Amino acid sequence: MFDPYRSEAEFALLAVRTAASLCRRIQEEMVSPAMEKSDRSPVTVADFVSQAIVARMLQEAFPDDPLVAEEDSKALRVPAQTQTLSAVTSYVSSLRSEANQGLVCDWIDHGSGEPDARFWVLDPIDGTKGFLRGDQYVVALALIEEGQVVLGAMGCPNLNMNLRSEVGGVGSVVIAVRGQGAWVTGMDGGRPIKIQVSGQPDPKQARLLRSFAAEHTNVSKIDQLIAALGSRHPPVLMDSAAKYAVLAVGDGDLLFRLISLQKPDYVEKIWDQAAGSIIVEEAGGRVSDLAGRNLDFSRGRQLTDNLGVLASNGWLHEVALEALRVVGADRRPEGS
Ligand code: AMP
Ligand code: MG
pLDDT digits (tens, 9 = 90+) for 151-176: 999 999 999 999 999 998 999 999 99
Give the number of other CB atoms < 10 A from CB of residue 263.
12
Could you count the other beta carbons within 10 Å of the beta carbon of residue 59?
15
- d(CA 230, CA 226) in angstroms, rounded, equals 6
Tell me whether residue 217 is one of the annotated catalytic residues: no
Tell me which ligand sits closest to the C-alpha of residue 70: 2
Which residue, judged by its Cα, is nearest atom 20 of ligand 1? 216
Catalytic pick among 128, 135, 239, 289: 128
CA distance from start to end of the chain = 47
The residue-averaged pLDDT of 36-45 equals 69
Quick check: is 65 catalytic?
no
Residue nearest to atom 13 of ligand 1 (CA): 216
Ligand nearest to the CA of 123: 2
Angle, CA 113 vertex, CA 109 and CA 114 arms, to 5°: 155
C-alpha 98/C-alpha 223 separation (Å) is 52
pLDDT band at 39 (very low <50, low <70, confident <90, very high): low
What separation in Å is there between the alpha carbon of 202 and the centre of ligand 2?
Answer: 31
Its pTM stands at 0.97
**CA distance linking residue 47 with residue 2, whole number of Å:** 28
Classify 307 as helix, strand or coil. coil
- What number is the average pLDDT over the span 25-54? 78
Q: From the CA of 257, how far away is ligand 1's center (Å)?
A: 9
Predicted local confidence at residue 43, as pLDDT: 74
pLDDT of the residue at 336: 46
